[in-house]
Amino acid sequence: MNNIQSYSYLAAEDESLIRKNLIKKITSLNLPLKLAGEAANGLEAIELTEASCPDLIITDIRMPQCDGIELAGYLKKNHPGVKIIIISGYDDFSYAQSAIRYGVVDYLLKPVTVENLFESLQKLLITMKSETDVLESYCTDHDRLSQESICRLMEKYLQENYKQEVFFQEISEKLGFTTEYLGKIFKKRTGETPSKYLTRLRINEAKRLLLHNPDMEIQKIGELSGYRDSAYFSRVFKSCVGIQPSEYRSGGHLLNTHSQ
């Protein structure tokens, strides 16, 4: 039991009794979750996040100073690895769902029952454990790693995870080196930065999907290639290939062959 991975969470809710009750319910579930702190508003949650770096934040949608949606937006921009569960009243549910662009993993309606809380947290813990296992599989004694071995590990990780969100900070922490050092030796050994290599993997996959799936929407192809934002996908694709994804699909790649 001592080997069970535990995760930390913050509870953000402006009503103290509701917040305490939520924490009490989570504790009663005996899940591998430990309380890292509690906040009465979004600003407090941000401060606690900067101080304690939790794995998960469970937040009410309606809070003074900085609400749950604003908190989710901040986390997406500054701490994309932090999971977010939003709690909302029935009238706020559609509003809460709009936060999907910020990577919110679940929405719970008030009053939150122990059953719904358990189901949501159980699913999330399975996902988080899976993500941890993926990173752990690339870990070893970094003092014994050669630069070549480090580059191979990074290449392997990116090859197997380019379709997902990739956080280089997490990779560097697991390998035991700074992102700057990893970027430097990766470029020295491969001739390109890790981010450029990741982009190349994604764009190559996008090319394959565009040519072999003529009826698939461009946005879906972007998602399957690792780009959730379709506009950003199109910009990156054109920057790399010289033409838009739609042009590439319609035969533009043939005209571009000699310029590649």
pLDDT greater than 70 at residue 142 = no
Buried b (16+ CB within 10 A) or exposed e, 54-65: bbbbbbbbbbee
Q: Name the pLDDT band for 259 (thresholds 50, 70, 90).
A: very low
- Tell the CATH topology of 196-259: Arc Repressor Mutant, subunit A (1.10.10)
* Residues of the chain above pLDDT 70, percent: 88
**pTM of the entire predicted model:** 0.56
CATH 1.10.10.60 domain span(s) along the chain: 196-259
Report yes or no: 226 and 185 within 8 Å, Cβ to Cβ.
Answer: no
pLDDT of residue 260: 41
Report yes or no: 209 and 227 within 8 Å, Cβ to Cβ.
Answer: no
- Tell the CATH topology of 7-134: Rossmann fold (3.40.50)
pLDDT one-digit tens code per residue, 14-47: 999 999 999 999 999 999 999 999 999 999 999 9
Average pLDDT, the chain: 86
Question: Nearest CA to 184 among 196, 194, 173?
Answer: 194
CATH 3.40.50.2300 domain span(s) along the chain: 7-134
Peptide bond preceding 32 in cis form (omega within 30 of 0): no
pLDDT one-digit tens code per residue, 160-219: 888 888 888 888 877 778 889 899 999 998 999 999 999 999 999 999 899 888 899 999
Three-state DSSP class for 11?
Answer: strand
